[in-house]
Structures are given as structure tokens and as C-alpha cells.
Amino acid sequence: MSFSTSSVGPPTPEPEQRPAAPSEDEDIARYLSAGQSFSSDFSEPGPTTDELFGHPDLSETTFEPSLGPTCGNNVATANRLARRQKLRPYQAKELESLAKSSLSIQILHLLVEQFATRNRLEEFLTSQPPFKIKKPLADTISSYALAVLMSEHISAYKGNMPTDCVINLIIKNNVNVPANLLHNPYALNLVKLAVGEELTQARARIKRYIGESINKDWAIPNLALKVIEGSQINVSVATCARIAIMRKVYSKLLNTGKKVGNDYWNKVDDVTTLERILRLQRRQRLEGE
């Protein structure tokens, strides 16, 4: 009698057959069989992939800003700049709060501050009394105007050059000049008008003295003393040379029977320009020898 060596045990269970996951095509087919269709002209919104496959909708989710490393760096930079510029405590606090805000809030804050500053500046300017040229400044303009016309370095007696020279001298020496002259267009324009009028009057006096010197046969030094009378200008050889050119032009116009009119100073400018060119040519010729 023989026995089998294999032991009899419980039967091995069959592996569980799980249903296969539906494919994407089957999902779409099932969606279509439900009586819905995709709109070809997109006039009506179709289902989103989140609705089809069950992903959560995050459109209504809100996110709170977190104090990340970038924001922390902004705060540190703000505190460092506040200490460097020696801001007041409340200013440093506002700056730190602004550093924690979003970029749009920062831009809006800066625009508001700019508009507020502009409004305060306009109120300050409108509250000031209108600028007027007082006697000390008028005396300074008169003194510098004559000094410029008697200078040997001036290249033109008419035009913008003498006016610009007087303005530059007044600002450079800061004599009886308002502190905000360069930043106040209204005041600067008034000063320019005053300088132009003073130069016109000074040229008229010089031309009148030149005509009187010809009639009374004054010497050039005496004419120079008459021109600079009441000023702090010293009579020099260069001053006498310039006045001699002015009287030469005046005498030439009288000898030719022409009237000494408004173009007199233009003719003086032409002669001084020619004299300057000839002097430069002589200097170059002497240096070349």
C-alpha cells in the first residue's frame, strides 16, 4: 500500500479580477452618451478638465501673502535706508510698512505722496508775495550793465550776449539776489527784463555823451571819465580804446551825412568784430615769424 507524498491542503484562491480603468476615449464617449455635446463655435462654455476628471476647482481659493525672504530683504533694506537718511521714527515705520506691501500698493503710495507734495509746493508758492525788483538789486543791475559795456572782453553790444553776461555776474557774485532766483521763472524773467532795459538806457547815455564830445571836442580820456561817472569803473587803456572805436563810428556816420539811428550799435559791433579779427591775424603773423 502506497501513500502520495504530496499533502492535501486548501485550494489556492483565484486572483481577483479588477475592472480595467476606463480610458480617456471611454470617458468622452460616456459623456457624449449622456446627451451633451461639445460646442464647435464655443458660444457656450464646455466642461473643464477639472469637471471631467474630478480635479478640485481652485478659482475661489484665496491665498494669504506670506513674509517670504524677498519681503524680509525689503524690510531690512528699508530700515537701513531709514537710518542712513536719518528719518524720523514715524517715517521709518511707514517705510517699513510700505516695504511689506505689494508692488501695486507701493506705486499708489508713491503717487499719492508725489501729488500731496506738489499741492503743498503750489500752496507755498501762491502764498508768497509777487516778486519785485527793489532798489538794491536795481542798483546792482545798473552797475554791472555799465561794467559789461565798458569791458574789453565783450564781443557784442547788442543781442543776448551783454544780457547774459550781466545775469551771470549777478548770480555768480550773489549780490542782492533772491535765493530762489534760478528756481523761480517769474522772478528770473523780471530780472532779465530789468537788465535789458538798463543796458538800453546805458547805451543811450553813452551814445549821447559821444555826440556831445564831438561837438565840444573832448579828448578820449575825458569822454571815458564822463561815461563811467558815478560808477566804480576805472579808466584804463582798454576802456579808452573801446570808446575811441565808438566815437570813430559815430564820426564816420556824421561825415557821410547819415543819421545816427538805432543801427548805430550794430555798426559798432561790426567794427569791433573786424578789429578783433585783424588783431588775431597780426598776432598769428608775429608768432609765425
Report pLDDT digits (tens) over 217-231.
Answer: 999 999 999 999 988
d(CA 184, CA 131): 9
- Global pTM reads 0.56
H/E run at residue 286: helix 264-288
CA 187 to chain centre: 19
Estimate to the nearest angstrom the gap between the alpha carbon of 238 and the chain centroid: 42
> Does residue 43 or residue 22 have the better pLDDT?
22
Residues 159, 199: Cα–Cα separation, whole Å: 10
Asked if 178 and 199 count as a contact pair (C-beta separation under 8 A), the reply is: no
Is residue 78 within 8 A of residue 98, CB to CB? The reply is: yes
Return mean pLDDT, the chain: 78
pLDDT category at 56 given cuts 50, 70, 90 is very low
Chain centroid to CA 189: 19
Spell out the residues 6+ positions from residue 114 whose beta carbon is closer than 8 angstroms to its own.
none
Is the model's pLDDT at 6 over the cut of 50? no
* Residue 131, SS3 per DSSP: coil
pLDDT at 64 over 50: no
Write the pLDDT tens digit of every residue in 240-286.
Answer: 999 999 999 999 988 887 778 888 999 999 988 887 777 777 777 77
Looking at residue 180, what is its pLDDT?
A: 76
Q: Are the C-beta atoms of 158 and 265 separated by less than 8 Å? A: yes
Q: Which three cell numbers stand for residue 72?
A: 524680509
- Which carries the bigger pLDDT value, residue 71 or residue 92? 92
CB 196 within 8 A of CB 119: no
